[in-house]
Amino acid sequence: MALDSRAQAAVALNRFGFTPKAGVPTDPRAALVSDLANPSAGQIANKDLLSVGEAARAAFAFRQERKAKQLEKAVSTQADMARNPSKTDMAKPDAKSGAAQAPGVPQQIYLREAKARLDAALSAETGFVEKLVWFWSNHFCVSADKGPVRALCGAFEREAIRPHVRGKFADLLLAVETHPAMLLYLDNAQSIGPNSFAGQRRGKGINENLAREIMELHTVGVRSGYSQADVTNFAKVITGWSIVPPRLERGGEFMFNDRLHEPGTERIMGQDYGDGGFEQGRAVLLALARRPATAKHVAVKLARHFVADEPPSALVEKLAKRFHDTDGDLMEVSKTLVTASEAWDVPPSKIRRPSEWLVNSLRALNLTPPDVRPFLQAQNLLGEPLWRPPAPNGFSDDSAPWMDGLAQRLDIANNLSRRVGEFIDPDMVADRALGPLLSKETKQTVALAESRPQAIALLLMAPEFQRR
């Protein structure tokens, strides 16, 4: 059934942004474009958050201190056992060892960053730029499950993603691929050119992970004409893209280490790149950013993420053309996305990802949790743990993988409604969350609810609230 103009506007606002804080605006296209033009949208101004170098050094100091304490305890235990060989219970942990321990420094940093990210989403007026941050953070994903990366995930998103989501794709690409979190996640920090100074002395070789994922996932995409030789040559080019050891003054920051860099000219996708140290790698990234295959790859992913699992081909072509014509200007590409009629005409069919559904639920209830940990636990339960994708290709943009978690969403909706439902008017929640999208069936179902909490849980689980 065709939607009227007000309902269509509500669909688009929820498709590109978050649940409106003050109802559907008269001109939602203008609201979305205005969000793009707002310099503070999508940014986090929190001076208490650490830079990537500060986070890396703090995590390193914590690990060193923990190792020293463990060594001291082991030495003390051995000495006690030597003095009292009959008292074997000295080797057993004390009663306090079973008590809950405070999170270590890397986890503390992770939690502070997660709270700042959640607050940014809940306070966003429209949320389009914030959702662009989420999209690009998943496109260029890193994982906190890789030990050294955990403390750096938040800094990665703040430093490499947020400043560039409205700039040139080439600048975003360079910021991402030279960020220490990415270099650690995809093992480039220790990649050594076989003919480099270090390679000749150590006999070690290159690591192709970063080069492969840049081509396969970040830029041109699969079946775009590159070969295994191109991947290998590109991996040679970016040897030396490394990190200052965390024990040093600028530890944890990016550095180009010429001693690790493979010398010589390399041929990549039919083009030769002369040895110029760091600039050789920058030149390859710029060329990849400008390839038509990259424009098409990015266009497909944007349209699939925001509009439909099978996006309209006309929309994809519009986005790819705008990307190409503006030399990868993401502000212009994003404007095209929210103003193209093809992006508005598609009925709401995509299931909201867990993080999006959770944020929209909190916005609908006008809640800002003081502690981010229950929110993170809910994301874990629903299969989208924050900054912990299952693989370098990130979380799926298709709806199907999220279907299995709908039953768990009901548990979370019930828990939320029990905690706040007695103090919130369901009609207010319905208007804020759904407005003109509220169907007759949902109205009838909510009207038959036995209590306010049950009515609110039903609204959060309504089909029109699950989809966009």
Question: In this predicted model, what pLDDT tens digit does every residue of 160-195 receive, in sequence order?
Answer: 999 999 999 999 999 999 999 999 999 999 999 999
User: What pLDDT score does 319 carry?
Assistant: 98
Indicate the pTM of the whole model.
0.93
153 vs 205, higher pLDDT:
153
3 state SS of 246: coil
Residue that finishes a domain, picked among 300, 330, 345:
345
Give the pLDDT confidence of 245-267 residue by residue, as tens digits: 999 999 999 999 999 999 999 99
Q: Is residue 54 part of a domain?
A: no
Give the pLDDT confidence of 393-435 residue by residue, as tens digits: 999 999 999 998 999 999 999 999 998 878 899 998 898 888 8
Do 358 and 460 fall within a single domain? yes
Average pLDDT in the 69-88 region? 76
How many structural domains does the chain have? 3
3 state SS of 425: coil
In this structure, are residues 156 and 52 in contact, taking their beta carbons and an 8 Å threshold? yes
Q: Which amino acid is at 375?
A: F
Alpha helices for 225-347 (secondary structure H): 228-237, 278-289, 292-306, 313-325, 330-339, 341-345
**Average per-residue pLDDT for the chain:** 92
What beta strand segments (E) does 236-286 contain? 241-243, 254-256, 266-268, 271-273
Do 200 and 272 fall within a single domain? yes
User: What pLDDT score does 332 carry?
Assistant: 98
Cβ count within 10 A of residue 71 = 10
Give residues with Cβ within 8 angstroms of 250, minimum separation 6: 53, 244
Average pLDDT in the 102-114 region? 95
User: What pLDDT score does 89 carry?
Assistant: 57
Average pLDDT in the 302-306 region? 97
Do 254 and 276 fall within a single domain? yes
Q: Is residue 330 part of a domain?
A: yes
- What is the rounded CA–CA span in Å between residue 334 and residue 167? 10
- What is the rounded CA–CA span in Å between residue 462 and residue 3? 18
Do 442 and 369 fall within a single domain? yes
User: What pLDDT score does 87 carry?
Assistant: 62
User: What pLDDT score does 21 carry?
Assistant: 73
Q: Is residue 412 part of a domain?
A: yes
Q: Is the pLDDT of residue 32 over 70?
A: yes
Do 309 and 282 fall within a single domain? no
User: What pLDDT score does 84 carry?
Assistant: 80
Place of tokens 């065709």: 2
What tokens does 251 get? 């530890």
Do 382 and 314 fall within a single domain? no
Domain containing residue 252: 186-289
Give the pLDDT confidence of 373-387 residue by residue, as tens digits: 999 999 999 999 999
Q: Is the pLDDT of residue 73 over 50?
A: yes
Q: Is residue 338 part of a domain?
A: yes
Give the pLDDT confidence of 202-215 residue by residue, as tens digits: 877 899 999 999 99
User: What pLDDT score does 109 carry?
Assistant: 98
In this structure, are residues 467 and 308 in contact, taking their beta carbons and an 8 Å threshold? no
Give the pLDDT confidence of 240-249 residue by residue, as tens digits: 999 999 999 9
What tokens does 432 get? 């804020």
pLDDT confidence tier of residue 4, bands split at 50, 70 and 90? low
Please say whether the dihedral angle defined by the alpha carbons of residues 438, 133, 27 and 38, taken in this order, is positive or negative.
Answer: positive
Give exposure, 386-416, as e/b (b: 16+ Cβ within 10 Å): bbbbeebebbbbebeebeebeeebeebbbeb
Do 394 and 305 fall within a single domain? no
pLDDT confidence tier of residue 130, bands split at 50, 70 and 90? very high
Do 401 and 337 fall within a single domain? no
User: What pLDDT score does 29 carry?
Assistant: 87
Q: Is residue 141 part of a domain?
A: no
Place of tokens 């192709």: 208
User: What pLDDT score does 92 carry?
Assistant: 56
Q: Is residue 122 part of a domain?
A: no
Do 307 and 398 fall within a single domain? no
Q: Is residue 196 part of a domain?
A: yes
In this structure, are residues 338 and 117 in contact, taking their beta carbons and an 8 Å threshold? no
- DSSP tag of 157: I
In this structure, are residues 274 and 317 in contact, taking their beta carbons and an 8 Å threshold? no
Do 372 and 457 fall within a single domain? yes
- What is the rounded CA–CA span in Å between residue 359 and residue 355? 6
What tokens does 68 get? 């020293």
Provide, rounded to the nearest whole percent, the portion of the chain with pLDDT above 90.
Answer: 79
Do 256 and 200 fall within a single domain? yes
Q: Is the pLDDT of residue 366 over 80?
A: yes
428 vs 338, higher pLDDT:
338
101 vs 175, higher pLDDT:
175
Q: Is residue 52 part of a domain?
A: no
The helices-and-strands tally (H runs, E runs) of the chain is 23, 4
User: What pLDDT score does 1 carry?
Assistant: 44
Do 356 and 264 fall within a single domain? no
